[in-house]
């Protein structure tokens, strides 16, 4: 862990290995999202916690608590608080397998879905993460309008914003990227 208590990608891998070692069968599945997924892939230096889009069951919570105590971490260092923010278009089959143990399978949310989640929240850190993610999306969106269509498919309860496409174009431009509006 960094001196300020942040978790690097290597820290996350090590801690999740320890969680897997603490678990008894059956195998559980975690779907890593947010800054922790970026750190895992080396796209961010570190993060405060590991967010998943699945709630933790009692056995997983107990294993997380053991590891937290061992390393003087908050018991919420691994949490399911992002579950409420999962895209409606989420498809488990599209997730990347990051690592698999007999008691724990760790998946990464598709980066396109992560980008859309970051856009939904759009605080300063999320906007930075969006610019970091953009090169990884490999042309998933040919226009900002198509990206915004995918956003509203993923989050149909979001109120329509007629300026959202222009906002995305401007934010990506701040990172040196060009995305056509239409």
Segments making up each domain of the chain, as ranges: 9-109, 113-174
Q: Which neighbouring-strand residues pair with 28?
A: 104
pLDDT value for 4: 85
pLDDT value for 138: 72
pLDDT for 14-69, tens place per residue?
A: 999 999 999 999 999 999 999 999 999 999 999 999 999 999 999 999 999 999 99
- The C-alpha atoms of residue 137 and residue 142 are separated, in whole angstroms, by 11
Distances in Å between the Cα of 123 and the Cα atoms of 28, 69, 119, 149 are 31, 31, 8, 21
**Closest to 74 measured CA to CA, from 63, 88, 64, 84:** 64
Residue 125 has pLDDT above 80, yes or no: yes
pLDDT for 129-166, tens place per residue?
A: 999 999 999 789 999 999 999 999 999 999 999 999 99
Tell me the HSE value of 19 on the side-chain side, using a 13 A CA sphere.
31
DSSP symbols for 101-149: -SSEEEEE--HHHHHHHHHHH--HHHHHHHHHHGGGGTTS-SSHHHHHH
- The C-alpha atoms of residue 112 and residue 132 are separated, in whole angstroms, by 12
- The C-alpha atoms of residue 85 and residue 126 are separated, in whole angstroms, by 14
Q: Is the pTM of this model over 0.85?
A: yes
The order of strands in the sheet holding 96-100 is: 78-79, 50-52, 28-33, 104-108, 96-100
pLDDT value for 18: 98
- The C-alpha atoms of residue 153 and residue 66 are separated, in whole angstroms, by 39
Q: Which neighbouring-strand residues pair with 51?
A: 33, 79
């Amino acid at each position: 862990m960094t001196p300020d208590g942040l978790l690097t990608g290597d820290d996350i891998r090590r801690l999740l290995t320890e969680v897997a070692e603490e678990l008894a069968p059956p195998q559980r599945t975690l779907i890593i999202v947010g800054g922790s997924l970026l750190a895992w892939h080396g796209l961010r230096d570190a993060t405060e916690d590991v967010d998943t889009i699945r709630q933790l069951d009692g056995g997983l919570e107990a294993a997380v608590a053991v590891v937290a105590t061992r390393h003087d971490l908050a018991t919420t260092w691994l949490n399911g608080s992002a579950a409420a923010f999962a895209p409606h278009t989420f498809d488990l089959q599209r997730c990347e397998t990051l690592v698999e143990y007999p008691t724990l399978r760790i998946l990464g949310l598709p980066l396109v879905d992560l980008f859309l989640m970051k856009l939904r929240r759009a605080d300063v850190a999320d906007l930075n993460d969006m610019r970091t993610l953009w090169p990884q999306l490999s042309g998933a969106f040919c226009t900002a309008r198509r990206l915004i269509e995918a956003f509203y498919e993923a989050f149909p309860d979001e109120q329509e914003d007629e300026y959202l496409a222009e906002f995305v174009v401007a934010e990506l431009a701040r990172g040196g990227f060009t995305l056509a509006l239409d």
